[in-house]
Structure formats: C-alpha cells, structure tokens
Structure 1
C-alpha cells in the first residue's frame, strides 16, 4: 500500500497496523490449529466449541478414534466409528441418511488428524454436510464436563481429567522400566499391544503376559495386583495407549503401576 505525503497518512498507518494485527491473529490461529488450513482447502469446515454446544442436538457427532478411547472418554451421545474400521465409509453414510443431520467428527485434539481424515472420507462418500470439531475431546471435556462421558458415567467436573503431571509421574525410561522389572520377581508385566504389534515377541524373557487392551480382560490382573501388593508394568506400542488405560487404573484405585515412556518402539530404539 502507498500512503504518500498526504493527510491520509494516519489512516494509512492505521490500516497497515490493522493488517499487521490481522496477520498476527491468522498466525496464532494457524499455531492453534496447525492442520486446519490444509484441510479447509479440500472442503473440511471446522466448528467451534461454542457453536457445537449451542446447536448440540442438531448434529450427529462421530468419534473417529479407537473403540477403547471412545469407551474411556467421549462426547455425550457421540457415535463410535473408528477411522480404522473396515466399514467406515458405509457406516458414516448410513448415519447421515438415518439422522438427516450434519455430521461432526472429532478425535483427540488440534494435532490429531483422524477427525480431518474422517471428514474427507465422508465427503468422498457423498455426505453433503460435514464438519470437524478439531479442538478435540480434551478441550470439550474441560469446557463441558456435563456433556462428556468418562468410563460410562457422566463427568462431574473437569478435575477428573488426568493431568500431564499425573501421567508423567508413572512414566519410566525404557532402561529404568527394564531394570525395575528384572529387579522385582513379583512384578506383573503386561504387554497390551495388539497381536500384530507384538508379533509374538516377548520383551522380558517371557515374563510379560500378552493381554490386549480391554478393561474386562485386565480386571483380574488389577485385582491380583491390589490383593497381593504387586507392582504392575504396562507396555504399549508407542506410549499413547497407556494414557487412556490410566483412567481405568485410577478408577480401580491402583497406585503402584508404571508405563514405559515411548512404549515398545522406544525400547527397540535403545537397543
């Protein structure tokens, strides 16, 4: 913009200042939602927390995460259709046809891509009205605990969410994890990876038991840990699944449990 030596100098300066502020806001927005611009170019439109709450009953809300994550924490009334499920496209199309409402997909937060990818696939499947709640489940739970289900019950407060500090307090480096397990003959070591991830390989000389991530299948082991005062050690693939498992362990009143930071991948990386 050329302002020249005129009486419009102040106005030009204000306009330039406004443009600068606008760029700063846009930059901040990109940092807050780093994937948003990329997916908006292919027709994926976001919805804010306030708008979703204000028109809550006008949408069909779909959780694109794993079934275990959904069972642990989800938006009230949301449908579980994992992006990885074989019949994903048919399921979301059927929901759109049945409810006659716009679909809103969500996952874990601003850097989680599952909700965006789910929205793209829904659009490609012919669904006309598709939105993405890219703030994610944790932001929703903090803002609207009364419309969030935690382990099958309505949340009472955002304080029920596990903090980063609480999670970190149960993390051990692969080396420390290994040394504690090998130094404790009474330790219960559970590998919660799925069969494909585990591939039949034991990380702890056959001391670790393969128990797929399922609270019903973990219940006996948790009870044994409490009754016999034995420490529990959990191994997942990359350190993400145990974040959800911790909600169940906390509900069960377990305290002496440990996770391997970075999961089995980090263990192999240290070899």
Structure 2
C-alpha cells in the first residue's frame, strides 16, 4: 500500500513538473506535441514550419525549416493552403514553452482537417543547443551555442521606464526609437527627439560607418513597442561589437498601455 501511495505521489509530482515546464499544453489539450529527440529522429522526413516573424527567423531558425508566419485574424485561408501543400507530417515551432503561436498554428490547420500536425514546444533555443549543426544563427550554420544570449543577459539590459527616461537624455547618449511608423501613435515626452530607426532599418545600419560614427563613445538607449523585438536586435548589436546599450522594459507599453503600443485585437 505504501508502495502504491508513493508511486502515485511520484506520478503526480512528475505531471505537475511537466505542466509547469509546458504551461500551454493544458490550455491546448487537443494539440499533440513532439519532443526534441523525436523531431531529430524524424528530421529528414518531417516538415518543420517556423511561425514567428521574419525578423526572428532571420536571427535564428532550424536549418530545414520553412518560414510561414502565423496569420492575422481573418487571413487563415492562405496559411492553411500553404500548409496543405506540404506532404506528410508537420511540426510547428516558435520560441519555446510559453510561445503560443505554434499551438495556435496547429489549431488552425486541425480545424481545416489536417490532423497530421504537431507542436514542437521545446522551441528554437532548445533545438539549437542540442543540434547546432541543424541550426542557423545570424546566417551561420552550424550555429555556435555559445553565442546564444541567455534570458539573464537579455533582461540585464532592461531599464525601468523611470530610469530609462532619465538616463537616456544625459550627455553622451544616443536615444533610438526602433518602432515602425504605424506604432508611433504615442511617444513619451522625453523621447520625442529620439532618432527614428525602424527595427529593420536599424539592423542594416549597425555596421555602417555613418552610424558607428554617430554612436561612438555613447551609450545606446533603444525602445520598441512592447519590449519584445529588442530581444532579436540584441543579437545584431552583439555581432557588430556594441556593448554599451540598454532597452526600455516593456517598451512604450510601459507608458501608455495597448494604445501607445498600437496593439490590435489584443496583440502587439
């Protein structure tokens, strides 16, 4: 009896640990998942789809993955058609355990009759750590796992809105608004004189002499809409030798909420 009780306790403990590691599995109970090891075993035959933004995909992706971003609401038909053109099993992935896009992709195609679809919810970083030869980081393959930026290193570059708004306007600073034009409905007063470099443009000029000259000897203070795109910008900054930089925690959202971040339908 004690053995059975102990065994049940162990099973409950394991299930609870899995639930905490993969919190979205309970939210999407009908979505089947595939492990890192099984994805590797089926690597040569399975279709792998990256549903993130092109900006994220260009920084890091699974080598054989095709990029088909998660569609906006009302545009699912085109997405379903593209997935339908892939023959055989399909695995969708995004950034990891708490990224819902890959789950949502499975739900969309399942509703349209494609049941041979799975979520790879370990995500791109876990894959790259285990299989760097089948990964691409900033255009290089094999990827170098040592160049992956940890959560701690990323979060260490965030400043609160109070500190960011004060420090970014001191001497020897370079304040950059990296939002797209459509995201600039509202701007905090301190940042209205910021240099305007949409994220895609900013990435392209980081290695250019005119930008390097402007940034020389200065601390870069960069903000986006909600503090998410800067995660991928950080890879480009590090690649180009920039070390003295900070990001605004939660972006312009921290000042104005969804309206200031130009969010629509609850998404930013």
- Say whether 1:39 aligns with 2:25: no
Q: Could you tell which deviates more after superposition, 225-234 or 125-134?
A: 225-234
Q: CA deviation at 1:205?
A: 5.2
Q: In structure 1, list runs of 5 or more residues that go unmatched.
A: 1-11
Partner of 1:176: 163
Partner of 1:5: none
Structure 2 vs 1, CA of residues 94 and 221 (structure 1 numbering), >3 Å: closer, same or farther?
Answer: closer
SS at match of 2:125: helix
Normalised by the size of structure 2, how large is the TM-score? Answer: 0.85
- Say whether 1:237 aligns with 2:225: yes
Q: Distance in 1 between matches of 2:211 and 2:36?
A: 40
Q: Distance in 2 between matches of 1:109 and 1:192?
A: 25
Q: Which has the larger Rg? A: 1
Partner of 1:127: 114
Q: CA deviation at 1:13?
A: 2.6
Partner of 2:261: none
Q: Could you tell which deviates more after superposition, 236-245 or 161-170?
A: 161-170
Contact 2:206 2:237 in 1 (8 A): no
Q: Distance in 2 between matches of 1:122 and 1:19?
A: 37
Partner of 1:161: 148
Q: Distance in 1 between matches of 2:185 and 2:211?
A: 26
Q: CA deviation at 1:82?
A: 1.5
Structure 2 vs 1, CA of residues 53 and 203 (structure 1 numbering), >3 Å: closer, same or farther?
Answer: farther
Partner of 2:238: 250
Partner of 1:211: 197
Q: In structure 2, list runs of 5 or more residues that go unmatched.
A: 258-268
SS at match of 1:127: coil
Higher share of residues assigned helix = 1
SS at match of 1:193: coil
- Say whether 1:192 aligns with 2:178: yes
Q: CA deviation at 1:55?
A: 0.8
Equivalence map 1:1-271=2 (5 Å): 12-40=1-29, 43-85=30-72, 87-97=75-85, 99-184=86-171, 187-199=173-185, 201=187, 203-204=189-190, 206-214=192-200, 216-220=201-205, 223=208, 224-228=210-214, 229=216, 230-268=218-256
Q: How many corresponding residue pairs?
A: 253
SS at match of 1:56: coil
Q: Distance in 2 between matches of 1:21 and 1:115?
A: 30
Q: CA deviation at 1:29?
A: 1.1
SS at match of 1:74: strand
SS at match of 2:49: strand
SS at match of 1:27: helix
